[in-house]
Structure 1
Amino acid sequence: MEAKMHMKEWLIAQIESGKYEGLSWEDEDKTMFRIPWKHAAKKDYKQTEDAALFKAWAVYKGKYREGRDKADPTMWKTRLRCALNKSTDFQEVPERNQLDITEPYKVYLIQHSYVPARPAESPQIKDQGIIQAKNSPRNPGFLDKQLHCQKESFYGTKEAVTPLMDDLMREHMYCELTGKKPLNQSPAPLTFISPTLAITDLRMQVMLLYHGQRVLKETTRSPDGCFILQGRVPVGNEKIYGPCTAQQISFPSPGSVCLSTCMVDAMNRLLCHLEKGVLLWVAPDGVFIKRFCQGRVYWSGPMAQHSDRPNKLEREKTFKLLDIPTFLNELQSCLQGKGPTPSYEIELCFGEEYPDPNVPKTKKLIMVQVVPLFAVELLQRFNSGEIEEKRPILISDTEGEKM
């Protein structure tokens, strides 16, 4: 069976192969690369050549089968673009893009050093391992060895694994390999937070406030996250969006709130700069955001650099707003009575600096409060006494896996 690679490893392999015209390194140190980006509407567009890389990614991910599926170059390109935008391994470098030339291209920076791919385990070997485990389910040596291998394959380093994750992985592996249920199994479908079964509750509660007044409260359900923006995502604008499946949350009209005429005018002037909005999503390792709009966006949250002065989101750059391993580690400390309840709420402020010690948030024109619901679930269980030290933490399996 062919070894599966992560997107970063796959893309590097394609660059090195030289098979795709226009796909090349941008610098000698191989930290940036060019990716051809010709629009299908151009007169000299040739699907065989100009969509080759996008098609290859669709084939590799199993989203396109030659001879069975209808060719869709637009969707191929969108899939790769969405994957690049949402990956923390890549960062677009807009100032190096050349989109108005005969052979247009984009430039991306590779964020981390290259790590060779690990070969995927074949079904036969996996089945043999399960049979062996069932024959000796309480063999601590076997579980320790399996736990060690899974931690290294998922995290790459031992330091990244918290004591809580050790307990979660061990309990999950025992239950998975023996077929036994966990100690505190409830009637609802549940999934362990572990390297093999990542967080599947990717929902967020999003609340929009105008000058301190709530104008919208919505729970996102798309595994691709949500756009928060003025209007709607422009159809066909592949440079930014394409037909992405992220949920759309539009800013309501300021006229729907009891505000002064002066305040409404100020908000309307701000909203016209938020047409491209922000993309917000939950991944197995954290909560992320990417700003596309021209209007400035500031934030506060668990990973914010400052708590007493503004934190700005740079345009076209992916930011991590909450780190799930850190959250779990802090929750473990809380369970042991060694620390406070971990924070998880995120606040966005559009057009005005935030946090601002001189102006309360209730006076800001546009604020958005974001709550990842997996964190709410965990803390509710903790507060109800359902979670005890060294017992598995569970989370509702209400959503499908991210692509």
Structure 2
Amino acid sequence: MEERIKNLRLKEWLIAQIDSGQYAGLSWENEEKSLFRIPWKHAAKQDYKQNEDAALFKAWAVYKGKYREGRDKADPTMWKTRLRCALNKSTDFQEVPEHSQLDLSEPYKVYRINTETDTDMGQESSQIKGHVSSHASPSSITPINLPVPQPQQDYKNESQNGDAVQILREAVVREHMYHWSEAPQDHRLPSLIITAPALTVTSISDIRLQGQGPLGSERIYGPCSAQQISFPPPAVLHLPPDITQAMTHLLPHLERGVLVWVAPDGLFIKRFCQGRVYWSGPLAQHTDRPNKLDRERTCKLLDMHIFQSEFRRYIQGEGHRPLYEIALCFGEEFPDSNLQETNKLIMAQVVPLFAVDLLQSVQTAEKQHLDTSRTHGGEGQPDSPPPPQP
């Protein structure tokens, strides 16, 4: 019995905690028990009580062996992060923001339990197993819930009105999202690509992009587990003397750099260097004037839920191609109407590869389908709509 309890999935474990009634604020939201509330008080609140407000998060950390009472240092923030990430990555749960209340004295989030997950996902996994994307990060994606086409559907007959292309798009998206969310955590796949002067980095982990730091800088700033990439010295770039001098002056101010990482709910960055860093991207506040990264403060560059929503509308022909590329500018204001991007000293482009791979996969599948339709459909058959161009 104890062994069975230890091997519960998150869904089974969490339902047991709700039914136990031992955690204040953790309760069912409806009689059907398909929605539930989970307390979500911020640790910075004056009335925050760790023993009560962090009890559920602590219990999950203990259950997963991530916290040992009396041996490990208590870390309520990390406990909460672990459960939040587990909920976001699981196909069994879906957050319902419109039901959540985060501005109350006792804030809470509401999640829906996806009852069809066990059957539908289980059947689908046998059909698409072995086709894991070579670019997606398993820790960075939550699945898009789209219908899966049945094998017996006749795409040829439906091509006249474009239904086949739409069904195919949805199938490809569902396939990729499923594999990215279900891949083992120890099977890390490339998640980011960063392009800057004289370097292109494809990373399977967090990236720290920095200037040329002094020897022994780790003893000064502490160790960093992220992949550390330094800008090349100006001498190897063969730049004009005035540009070389400017970059030589700028790089020491960037020695602590910026940390970029992918998480289940998006793409994030944190600036550590003294030199100023500016950015542009889907979530940037301004498009016509500079957006500065505040030092030592985490900034979200890409929101996963927004990207998924925009992508869903895009493949349904109801919206534009979702934006996902991020531009970073070191030491100079950006965007700046007075200077073109190419005239900046140090620009870096950050691209989450899951977005690139997803768009390319949909387009490839559509092209293959169109080629097949033209080959077997005969003359006089109307073509399906062309695939959206990136």
Higher RCO (CA 8 Å, separation ≥ 6 residues):
1
Name the residue aligned to 2:162. Answer: none
Residue 132 of structure 2 aligns to which amino acid in structure 1? P
The alpha-carbon distance between structure 1 residues 304 and 180, as it changes in their structure 2 partners (threshold 3 A), is closer
Pick aligned residue for 1:181 from 114, 120, 126: 126
Name the residue aligned to 1:274. Answer: 254
Percent identity for Structure 1 against Structure 2 = 43
Name the residue aligned to 1:226. Answer: 207
**Cα distance, 1:226 vs structure 2:** 1.1
**Cα distance, 1:386 vs structure 2:** 5.3
Say what the alpha-carbon RMSD is for the aligned residues.
4.7
Is 1:194 matched with 2:175? no
Name the residue aligned to 2:347. Answer: 367
**Cα distance, 1:252 vs structure 2:** 0.9
Name the residue aligned to 2:49. Answer: 16
Moved more, 193-202 or 361-370: 193-202
Aligned-partner SS, 2:253: coil
| Structure 2 unaligned residues grouped into runs of 5+ | 6-12, 18-22, 24-37, 52-58, 101-113, 145-176, 184-188, 370-390
Q: How many residues align?
A: 268
Alignment of 1:91-240 (within 5 A): 150-151=93-94, 154-157=95-98, 173-178=118-123, 181-182=126-127, 185=128, 187-189=130-132, 193-194=142-143, 199=181, 203-209=191-197, 215-222=198-205, 225-231=206-212, 234-237=217-220
Answer yes or no: is the 8 Å Cα contact 1:311–1:355 preserved in 2.
Answer: yes
Residue 285 of structure 2 aligns to which amino acid in structure 1? Q
**Cα distance, 1:16 vs structure 2:** 2.5
Answer yes or no: is the 8 Å Cα contact 1:175–1:181 preserved in 2.
Answer: no
2:60 & 2:291 partners in 1: Cα distance? 36
Answer yes or no: is the 8 Å Cα contact 1:82–1:244 preserved in 2.
Answer: no
State the TM-score, normalizing by the size of structure 2.
0.56
Higher helix proportion (structure 1 or 2): 2
The alpha-carbon distance between structure 1 residues 353 and 10, as it changes in their structure 2 partners (threshold 3 A), is closer
Pick aligned residue for 1:244 from 211, 224, 244: 224
| Structure 1 unaligned residues grouped into runs of 5+ | 19-55, 90-116, 122-145, 160-168, 210-214, 389-403
Is 1:285 matched with 2:265? yes
Answer yes or no: is the 8 Å Cα contact 1:229–1:249 preserved in 2.
Answer: yes
Residue 349 of structure 2 aligns to which amino acid in structure 1? Q
Answer yes or no: is the 8 Å Cα contact 1:202–1:282 preserved in 2.
Answer: no
Residue 16 of structure 1 aligns to which amino acid in structure 2? K
Pick aligned residue for 2:280 from 300, 314, 317: 300
Is 1:264 matched with 2:247? no
1:62 & 1:12 partners in 2: Cα distance? 26
Answer yes or no: is the 8 Å Cα contact 1:286–1:323 preserved in 2.
Answer: yes
1:12 & 1:377 partners in 2: Cα distance? 39
**Cα distance, 1:361 vs structure 2:** 0.9
Name the residue aligned to 1:400. Answer: none
**Cα distance, 1:244 vs structure 2:** 3.1
Aligned-partner SS, 2:49: helix
